[in-house]
Structure 1
Amino acid sequence: MNSHMLVLPLILQIFIALFSSNPAVAANSKLFREYIGAEDKGVTFSDVPINSQVNFHFILSFAIDYTNSSTPSPTNGDFGVYWDTENLSPSHVFSIKSQHPNVKVAMSLGGDTINDEHVYFSPKTINSWVRNAIHSITEISRKYNLDGIDIDYEHFHADPDTFAECIGRLLLFLKQNGVVSFASIAPYNDDSVQPHYLALWRKYGHLIDYVNFQFYAYHKGTTISQFLKYFHEQSSNYRGGKVLVSFGTDGSGGLSPQNGFFKACRRLKRQGKLHGIFVWSADDSKKAGFLYEKQSQTLLARST
């Protein structure tokens, strides 16, 4: 038998061993994301430290399809801007992106409350909601020169399939027509929330680039082992997706930076599973000087 016939399989075996022994290594990412503007605390883009070695996404919070009145009511997909427009205006978006080529800006839809009332996803019909949402979201995106969109509805007056169709069709239009280049969703572990996002993921997951899973919605005092367990559970739920880890600087729950969050991140990074970090929110971090934002970006920027 020709000796080359014996050598070739061996070479292939070595090649496969080198590149597939830890196939997830390539999944590590230098993506850092932060919600900003929801609490009207005067925080600006330039307040937040930006490491030039990471991919940085600001997420404006929130665009809401509700009236802004003492008794707010749903508008069936007609979105308006409810973030701090004085400090986070179109000119501010232009300025921060001009100064930092690694920065992109997205907006988040929905959120938890408006004027202390819950924001509900409440479409009259799928077609009418999608039509209105396409028009209003496109208008806001172009005015602010936005790059992406995030979905953060937390209360629902519609079944999961209706939510999936409305949001899925909106994302399809926005991406196909170049209105946005990336999209994310922001679910958390709640029986009234997860079914809606899982229905969306099953049908339109190919349009969703990042899963901003709200790990800070778990109980306070979460341990590292519990956090890693939750991460793997949600990675299974959103199989094939880039599930980002997260913490809150508003005193919410989950695994805090003080109690091992970065240790858990380093462990995921060694496993090739650190798809990025996001923070809720810049408004709350300002008083502490964005300490944990700096640590997050340093960890992401390091090669090991």
Structure 2
Amino acid sequence: MESCFCSTVLAILFVYFFSISNAANSKLFREYIGAESESIKLTDVPINSKVEFHFILAFAMDYTNGNSPSPSNGKFNIFWEFNHLGPGEIASIKHGHSNVKVAVSLGGDTVGDGKAFFAPNSIDSWVKNSVSSLTNMIKEYNLDGIDIDYEHFHSDPSTFAECIGQLIMSLKKSGAISFASIAPFDDEEVQSHYLALWKKYGHVIDYVNFQFYAYDKISVSQFVSYFKKQASNYAGGQILASFISGGGGGLKPDDGFFEACSELKGEGILGGIFIWCADESTKLGFEYEKSSQDFLASA
């Protein structure tokens, strides 16, 4: 019994320090794309060959895709602007850049004129439908991973945890995806659902795209404090720093974002950077994408 206990403790410590090391050495850059523009192209976004680059298509939703979308119990459809974000474009960008992977984000804030709810009929039926529909989508679009960005819920935290956890495990077991991420923010209902998921299935979640831009405008010290708070909430996870390129809250690059990242990097807890979103960055000439990747590449 004592030997078993010691082995368990050593395993936990190994996972902890391995996660910290991964975060400290991370050159991971991620960007959402496709939620707001019909003209955005993957090739519009500058890609630094010295970083690991993830495009995240926003969004796929388990809603009917028509004039009046309604929940479809795990049967996912494409809701990103796919005019220039189709299978051919994805294959081309991945062929031209060996450091690029592409994921799809599930959920999002709104659908049509209303909120996009997580609304399963049952755990079993939702998981069955979602595994089937997403496996087909992943194969067709040559995707590498999924991101979970549900923000509104018609379910309790336990049901959300089981549905999403079982989905990720099934897709990983079949080899359909190689990574999964979650995108929570500091809201009581949102956190209750994602922390329930993390508590039981955190071991199969690779990245935490925490939406630090959902805070009101904050200072460098506040950003660092909030980052450490969420690193504690999602203990052992690879937490990414984030900002929104087109306005809103959080901490902007021009207001000290990279100063905060340097501090986090020095403490060995910066898991990478992600931006919402490429669609909005077109107006800025992708200035922040370049500076974010330069920062990661030189770190």
The normalised TM-score by structure 2 is 0.92
User: Which residue of structure 2 lines up, in the alignment, with residue 302 of structure 1?
Assistant: 298
Letter in structure 2 aligned against 1:33 = R
Find the aligned partners of 1:80 and 1:148 in 2 and give their Cα distance.
Answer: 16
Instruction: Give the C-alpha shift of residue 86 in structure 1.
Output: 1.1
Is there any run of 5+ residues in structure 2 with no aligned partner, and where?
A: 1-16
Q: State the Cα RMSD in Å.
A: 1.3
Letter in structure 2 aligned against 1:224 = V
**Computing the radius of gyration over CA atoms, which structure comes out larger, 1 or 2?**
1
Runs of 4+ in 1 over 4 A off after TM superposition: 23-26
Sequence identity percentage: 60
Is there any run of 5+ residues in structure 1 with no aligned partner, and where?
A: 1-19
User: Which residue of structure 2 lines up, in the alignment, with residue 53 of structure 1?
Assistant: 50
Deviations 1:59-113 (A, max 9, x none): 0010001122332210000000111111100000000000000000000000001
Q: The residue matched to 1:74 in structure 2 has which SS?
A: coil
Q: The residue matched to 2:135 in structure 1 has which SS?
A: helix
Q: The residue matched to 1:149 in structure 2 has which SS?
A: strand
- Which of the numbers 79, 83, 88 marks the counterpart of 1:82? 79
Report how many aligned residue pairs link the two structures: 281
- Which of the numbers 68, 84, 93 marks the counterpart of 2:90? 93
Instruction: Give the C-alpha shift of residue 114 in structure 1.
Output: 1.1
| Equivalent pair of 2:33/2:56 in contact (CA under 8 Å) | yes
Q: The residue matched to 1:243 in structure 2 has which SS?
A: coil
Instruction: Give the C-alpha shift of residue 270 in structure 1.
Output: 1.5
User: Which residue of structure 1 lines up, in the alignment, with residue 34 of structure 2?
Assistant: 37
Q: The residue matched to 1:297 in structure 2 has which SS?
A: helix
User: Which residue of structure 1 lines up, in the alignment, with residue 183 of structure 2?
Assistant: 186
Find the aligned partners of 1:97 and 1:52 in 2 and give their Cα distance.
Answer: 12
User: Which residue of structure 2 lines up, in the alignment, with residue 123 of structure 1?
Assistant: 120
Find the aligned partners of 1:85 and 1:229 in 2 and give their Cα distance.
Answer: 38
Deviations 1:135-194 (A, max 9, x none): 000000000010010000000000000000000000000001100000000000001100
Deviations 1:262-282 (A, max 9, x none): 111111111212110000000
User: Which residue of structure 2 lines up, in the alignment, with residue 114 of structure 1?
Assistant: 111
Report which stretch shifted further, 270-279 or 153-162: 270-279
- Which of the numbers 69, 75, 83 marks the counterpart of 1:72? 69
Residues 204-215 of structure 1 correspond to what in structure 2 (within 5 A)? 204-215=201-212
Q: The residue matched to 1:66 in structure 2 has which SS?
A: coil
Find the aligned partners of 1:155 and 1:26 in 2 and give their Cα distance.
Answer: 29
- Which of the numbers 273, 279, 298 marks the counterpart of 1:277? 273
User: Which residue of structure 2 lines up, in the alignment, with residue 15 of structure 1?
Assistant: none
Find the aligned partners of 1:25 and 1:148 in 2 and give their Cα distance.
Answer: 18
Instruction: Give the C-alpha shift of residue 27 in structure 1.
Output: 2.5
- Which of the numbers 136, 139, 144 marks the counterpart of 2:136? 139
